[in-house]
Amino acid sequence: MKANTHPDYHFINVQMTDGTVFRTRSTWGKEGDTLALDIDPTSHPAWTGGNQRLMDQGGRVAQFNKRFGGLSLKKG
């Protein structure tokens, strides 16, 4: 294997949105740096169930009919 081709793999701290911190190894930053997350499994709607509202509204056709269902193309 060639020397000096791989990035430095070191320990960093990852800070979740709720303030908890855990230590992991990464190529990001420098040894001991803290990576502050904007979105994580404790706050993202895909994991918290926040998308449920969108699922209850129906599909695109239902949304279209709800919005434009009363329109007609007949001349009157």
pLDDT in tens, 44-68: 877 777 655 555 557 788 888 888 8
Q: Could you tell me the end-to-end alpha-carbon distance of the chain, in angstroms, rounded to an integer?
A: 80
- pLDDT of 26 reads 96
- pLDDT of 16 reads 93
pTM: 0.56
Spell out the domain ranges in the chain: 10-40
- 21 to each of 35, 60, 66, 72, how far by Cα in Å? 9, 41, 46, 59
**Cα separation of 61 and 50, whole Å?**
22
pLDDT in tens, 19-37: 999 999 999 999 999 999 9
